[in-house]
Structure 1
Amino acid sequence: MGRRFFSPLTSDAVRPSENAAPSAGESAQGRVAPDPSLGALIGGETLRALFQPLVSLSAGSIFGYEAQLRGPAGSRLESPGALFRQAAVEHAVEELEFAALRAARRCWEAQAPPGRRFVNFGTHSLLHLVGRGGIDRFLAAITAEDLPATNLVIELTGHERVRDVRSLRRIVDALRAHGVAIALDDFGDGRSSLRLWAELQPEFVKIDQFFVKDIGRHSYKVQTMKALLQIAPTLGGQLVAGGIESEQEATILRDLGLPYGQGYYFGRPEETPSHAIAPLALASLKKREIAVLASFATSIAQDISAEHLINEIAPITPEMNNAQVIERFQQNPSHHAYAVVQDGAPIGLVNRRVLMDRYAQPFHRELFGQRSCCVFMNEAPQLLERSATCEQMMQMLTSSDQRYLTDGFIIVDGGRYVGLGTGEQLVRLVTESRLEAARHANPLTFLPGNIPINEHIDRLLRGAGPFTACYCDLNHFKPFNDQYGYWRGDEMIRLLAGVLVTTTDNRRDFVGHVGGDDFLVLFQSPDWQQRCEKIIGVFNDRALQLYDPGAIERGGIEAEDRDGRPAFFPLTTLSIGAVCALPRAFQRPEEVAAAAAVAKRRAKRSHQGLWIDEGRR
């Protein structure tokens, strides 16, 4: 057992007495002993540290460990949260912080894990303890001959607003003079600031796990990481992404250029630290496949739903008469309609204007005032699930039933009433989302446009891994569009976009919309050929549903050709031209796009559906 290092600030009130109760599991009778007091833990040696690895994302190796405080196993004060909550109650936070340093030192002496040693310490506690006890006493609690200060990283927790930045900077400079590095913890959680980063210029900045979780689904998190990578060289410090829990998160952060990462995906906090990351995690970091980054437009499409349109207006029941509904409208001038609900499910919609117009007619008040509100309700109102996507809301806008513009519509959750929406809200939400998407991608499909396509090809070329570029184009689409109109044509383009997205692997494969009926899919999936064949089969089958029965029976439509002459055109089908790109087969994105376009033309001439450029294998 290591030597005992007491905090110079620990009072007798928090030191253990000789008659203190034994810690958990040490009862003489073999029974589980009662939880020790916080004072006993601070003054004793039963606090412990677990070690979680920090990993180099480019090399796939461990470069350090963070010591994480724990109380006696199985006790009420085992978790760090419970320890610090109790310390706050007993006004002993600084003493606990110092005891945590001593616990980390003991465990490091026993385990001797290699690399950098990260330990957490509150900024206010650092100011008070070092200000009163001096740097030398502070370092004596955490360093030793075989644990030099040059391997130590003090991780400043960002849970408190720092007012005396000047004094903190002096302490940080003094620690650096002894070889200690500084890390800024949980950057971006709302309590740490760019000013503190600029003032302290820490060697490491640990990014809050909020910006890491599900980064593959949220473009704004990708953009945040890119912005932090751009300012890091100016403000100083290397970035560490915290809370990595999946392969996708790890590979996206690696591809973005984050130098270091930490999280359960690489290893959980353990008493005996592993000297290598898990084999699966190592294999994922060594893959030459690049991650597919979420597009801003796709994020918009995923994040927008009918949830944004809900007006929580209390419904009416069939038992209410028209006079009562009129009174409700008069009491609530902003309400445009009321849903008629029975047993939680909507059965109709009463529109203010319709009811008022009917009521204004001669004798209607006398004839219908006491009759059920169902008399004047719309028995077949538009229903919209609260989870409805932007695409589904767009379908409502283009439907033949346009009563929603005046009546509004009912929003349900599994068929049960949750609220009302207005036509004005629906038009505004869909229009604004499409305008925003148009800045980043094709507004019809929300898929990335030419600029993101070229950026992804460039990343593939720099990654030096094999990939397949597949150019997708529709056969005989113009006659179909001329015959049925651009709304039906847009529907066919969205159909193709949906088939492409659902048949590809969004973790490996990138789907872009070049424009019109042209799409480019960049495959890293090894079974890309089978996926392409499935895409062609599924699309060709579903596209039939957009034709009338007569056209299907004839196998095509009569329309004008490009010279204005009548001609017969077969039903619309899909052609895909594929170019297999091995490392160094291409140098620039435009070379890949040009080769894929040539393959597409050959696919259309061959009438085979899929044509593969064998010369690029």
Structure 2
Amino acid sequence: MPLRNAAEDVGRVIREGLLHPVFQPILDFRAQAYLGFEALIRGPASSPLHRPDQLFAAARSAGLASALEHACREASLRAFARLGLPGRLFLNVTPGCLLDERLMNGETCRLLNDLGIAANRVVIELTENQQITDLPGIHEGLLHFRGRGFQIAIDDLGEGFANLRMWSEVRPEFVKIDKHFIHGIADDRMKYHFVRAMQDLAEICHASIVAEGIERCEDFAFVRDLGIACAQGYFVARPASSPDRQLLPTVVQALAQKQLALSPAGARMATAINLLRPVPPAPFDASNESVMARFEADPELDVLPVVRGDLPVGLINRHILFERFARPFQRELFGRASCTQFMDQAPLVVDQQATAQELAIMLALAPKHHLFDGFIITGGGKYLGVGSSHDLMAMITEMQISAARYANPLTQLPGNVPINEHIDRMLAAGKSFVVAYLDVDNFKPYNDTYGYRRGDDVIQLLGRLICQSVNQGIDFVGHIGGDDFFVVFQSADWEARCWEIVDRFGEAMQPMVGASGHGGGGYMAENRKGELVFQALPTLSVGAVRVHPGDCDSHREVAAAVSVAKKEAKKGDKNLPGRPPGGCVFVERRRSGQVDDSRLAGSVLKPCLESAAGQPKEACRRPASTSRKVSAEE
């Protein structure tokens, strides 16, 4: 298409319908399926106006930006309907065009009705390329569209107008993080902290985060493990005029390569599959009359899913359909029409592996009617059955009661039962992991001298230090009882984390003896004979065992092996005569299935490098390999 002048060229593109929408999928991590598609526009092929940046620049210079944007919306909506794409449609709208008369006067709603697209499937995505000057007007426009069922998204957080103030005032349902903060996040600690802060704000504001610009598998996995709701980028899928509705094999593989997640408070992990009710679905070409017959034949059937092949496309609510057909002549007029006419075209769809916690968050963020309708459960994107909010709440309540029953009352950390259950889960999953048994040395003299309240303070302090030093997303922390703690590590740098706990505990104990403290790393107190003697400060001994698939058959074998390692750790101070005792980490290097109660050959004993007084030990200095950088999980 040869160029003449901006006004003529852009005008011709609009008049002759030379706009070509493409759609880029947005992945919902929790459902492991596409949440929807963002509509992107392309101009005429083999033309300088093919690229959207050049197309819109020409339109702005010709004073046709609003007309072009309106044409883009209409072309995108028509293409979305023609392709029959599932889920939501994200439509880009500049703030200046939000109050366009063609948007506000009902023209867009009439087009949606003609195309059969429900307003609650459309997300108005406020783009960043224009400064907002009329904030009250924007609020008025947003109120107008929300009242008609539309949802709102802010694009490119961190760029342009989409700042924290805008987020707090617009209160969008979706917030898209600019790709600058996502690309390379797996290797950039600063980007991690930025995105983590945005995620925390999103939870407070009840918004879902969409991470844009994901191009690497490493960044994809990192964003997923951060708890981000959605992902978009070339790694997920590239924009296409007719996008595939199934996840790419590389994405499916990346989703499957996930370390075993921890359940809240260590309780048994419950997922959507535990809530599954295998309701036979209705095909998308079924009539309303046949759906009514299903409901009338089964009084317990509250919702009926609708599928196209084996892919879910909607959900029909019993009461809504009965209410429609109760009106005069409705059954006669619409009985033979397709059941898609009265179905919810944007149902809540979740993957069978979604946890109870993830399901609760999704329901809290979803429109209220999903609380009554429930959700569709899929496996690999294919329909399996339905689940109800009532059953989910009952399951969560049961989990909370179970967690409270087995939690340690002092630290509220999981006790022996959930510890054993978690180890058995790890063994059943065939995962490699490390178990660590942490025990406080010299605790009884301290407890006797300062009282049980101060002793409880030490135990609670240690519990906090352990939780702060592990990766709480993948490392399990339990409290066996008294001054004994247990950690199941999946972190690759577990050994350095153990040393960090030892070091931080030693430092924290210094001020806990008050004025009676002694410069040699202890305090003066009476022994059982009433004699005033020097008592060493409490320190920490850690016994650790690597567990590989096939090493152990049950948690009992794991517990026996790590108990032996803990005993060896507590012997460490005896190797350092004349020095104040320090903490140590004992690592059993052999297969844990070979461990017995004898002294372990091939093990490594590494006393703490620094004594309580800050002086280096004389023997067995800590290897440099145990030092670690602060990881992104912190």
TM range (shorter): 0.3 to 0.5
| Higher Cα Rg, which structure | 1
